Every structure is written in structure tokens, then in C-alpha cells.
Amino acid sequence: MKTLHVDLGDRSYPIYIGPNLLGNADLLTPHIGGKQVMIVSNETVAPLYIEKLRAGLADFQVQEVILPDGEQYKNLDVLNTIFDALLQAHFDRSCTVIALGGGVIGDMAGFAAASYQRGVAFIQVPTTLLAQVDSSVGGKTGVNHPLGKNMIGAFYQPQCVIADTVVLQTLDKRQLHSGIAEVIKYGLIRDAEFLAWIEARVPAMLACDNAVMGEAIERSCINKADIVAEDELESGVRALLNLGHTFGHAIETGMGYGVWLHGEAVATGMCMAAEMSRRMGLLNDDEVNRIDDLISAMALPVRAPREMDNERFLELMAVDKKAKEGKIRFVLLKSIGSAFVSDDYEPSVLLSTLDSCRSME
């Protein structure tokens, strides 16, 4: 097991990474204050892992709430299901919420914990690669709105994150590939050496090799933890973690939540950000091709859906958390391993990027 730390003063917490950690009472118990524990999971993950998690909670009063599985259920209506369960069980302010699932479950359980009685403790137990390397770390919680993804939420840090690498073996290939997109992101924005490491291990990652995935998770979390420690509330450098997300969130919203997985949309969004950077004279052809080739090798899409025209993209990207004073802001690349946020671009550059990055199929 590896233990990393997110350094946030009195809100600091550990990230545990390794095999067979799920029901480890020694990891869980120190981070649970009271006796009441509410496990939030979904219909896919719960049958696989909830009993194993409960085995590490024998000394607690444990309840569970099982949500439907899918990005389309990440909304205020379904969020109320968690509040209903907490209230019906008479859980008090000393309770702990445990998120057992992927990014949707982590975001929703975290937001419920941030809101219930104005804040109760919660623990992240991510079961997808995407959640283990990204969404479970850093305290971003929330739900989607029909007009925009993740527009309702709160920054609220967990007590700990427990990333059991064994659970990745039950991921379907599409979910695995989706998570790899967020791993690639760290190499592109700040860690060129890590990107080269990923490029050398494409077959092992696609095969979900346990040792390779463990290292990929660790290196991703080190990058994420460093950025969060520097900028918890995304007022500066943390915005770089949104590489590809302005384009990607527009795809997710425009196509309907759940049609494209988050990592699929972000993968295409990163290719679009690279192309926009090339058109601004920042990246060269070889660098853009290198990014496209890696993302394609990981069985991820590199082109936006043809169903979305420029007008729809612009409409949806205007409803983005990075938008400021009516201007759409993008995370762009100066080079591989060096990113920045900018709203200083010619509109024609954005439009030509959208035109060139749309699928013809």
C-alpha cells in the first residue's frame, strides 16, 4: 500500500492506494467520528463490493442507499434520495457518509455530506479508474443541471480516499479507457516525463495490469494532490486540471448525459485544445499528432460528434465555470507538460478548431 497526503492544513487527509483495501477496518475506523455510517453506492457497484465494505464497518450502525447508475442520474432529484435516507434513519451531525462508486457517486455523496445538517464527514472509496485518479481527490462535489455540467455543488474535502486497485478488474473496457483519459491529462498539463511513461505502457494499461495501474494511480494522485494543496478553491493553478473539459463538458451536455462518458468527452476535448493551441502557434504538428496518437491508442475518441454544430458548442461552452464576464476561457498547451488558461484568442481560431475537430462519420 502507498499513502499520499493532500496538504490542506486542518483539512488535510490521506490517500491510500493498493490492492485489497476495500474492507480494511484499520483504514476506515480512524476516519469515522460517530457510530452512524451511510454508504452511498449504485446498482452496478453495490452487488459487487458493498458487503466487502460493510465487513470493515462491523462496529458501526450502517445504512445504505443505492442509486441508479449513470451520469443522467447526477441531478438534484436523485440527490434528494440520499437526504431522504439520512433523515429516515435519524442520522445526526456525527454521522459519516461513504461514497462507494465512480465519479457520479463520489460527487453526489460528497455534495450530500457537504449539505446535510450543514456538513457531515465523508469518505471516498472510488471504484473506477477515473474516480481514483481524479474526482475522488480534491473535494469537488456536485450535480449536473440540464443547462450545464457540475454547475451546482461545493468544495468539500473527504476524511480520506481509499483506492483499491483490485476493483479495477471488474471495470468494463469503456470505463477503463475513460479513466485513462484523466491519467493522460496530468502528463499533458505538468508532467511530460509521466506522459512518456504512459506512452511506453499502452498495452499494459489497456490490459489493466495491476502493478502498472497502481503506479499510474499513484503518479496521477501526486500531481492532483500537489495542485489542490496549492489552490484548493480553483482560483489559479487548479484550473489547469480542466484541460479538455470546456469542450468535453459541452459534448456531454449536448449529446445528453451518459451518451458520452466523461473521460471520452475529455479525451476529445484535449485533442481539440491541442489543435486550438497549434492554430495559435503554440504547439507544432508533431506534438498535436503525438497527443492524438496516444489518445487513439487508448481506444478513446479524438473527434467531436458531427451532431454538434459550432452554434451548439458555443452556446454550451458559454455555460462553463471557467467562463468570465461572458468570455469562454480554455486550458491550452504551450508545450507538452506546460498548460495555461486563456481567453485571449481570435474567435476565428476557435471556430476553425471546431470545424476541423468534428467527426465526419
Give the closest residue to 322 by CA, choosing from 298, 342, 352. Answer: 342
Pairing label, strands 121-126, 140-145: unpaired
DSSP letters spanning 148-172: EEEEEEEE---S-EEEEGGGGGGS-
Active site residue 334: no
In the structure grid, which three cell numbers stand for residue 171, read together?
A: 471495470
First-to-last C-alpha distance (Å) of the chain: 45
Active site residue 242: yes
| Active-site residue identified among 71, 182, 215, 275 | 182
Give the closest residue to 159 by CA, choosing from 26, 304, 10. Answer: 10
CA distances from 165 to 23, 122, 132, 157, 241 (A): 13, 20, 9, 22, 23
Active site residue 327: no
| Active-site residue identified among 215, 234, 252, 264 | 234
In the structure grid, which three cell numbers stand for residue 159, read together?
A: 476524511
Alpha helices in the chain (DSSP H): 25-28, 46-55, 76-88, 103-115, 129-130, 173-190, 192-199, 202-206, 210-230, 245-255, 262-279, 285-297, 310-317, 347-356
Active site residue 264: no
Active site residue 303: no
| Active-site residue identified among 31, 74, 238, 321 | 238
| Active-site residue identified among 31, 185, 190, 245 | 245
Active site residue 358: no
C-alpha span between 127 and 129 (Å, rounded) = 7
| Active-site residue identified among 74, 149, 219, 224 | 224
Active site residue 279: no
Please list the residues that pair with 101 across neighbouring strands: 126
| Active-site residue identified among 242, 264, 275, 358 | 242
| Active-site residue identified among 90, 118, 311, 325 | 118
| Active-site residue identified among 31, 74, 140, 190 | 140
| Active-site residue identified among 219, 262, 279, 358 | 262
Active site residue 315: no
| Active-site residue identified among 185, 219, 249, 329 | 249
313-337 burial, b if ≥16 CB within 10 A, otherwise e? beebbebbbbeeeeebbbbbbeebb
In the structure grid, which three cell numbers stand for residue 281, read together?
A: 502557434
* Catalytic residue annotation: 118, 140, 182, 224, 234, 238, 242, 245, 249, 262
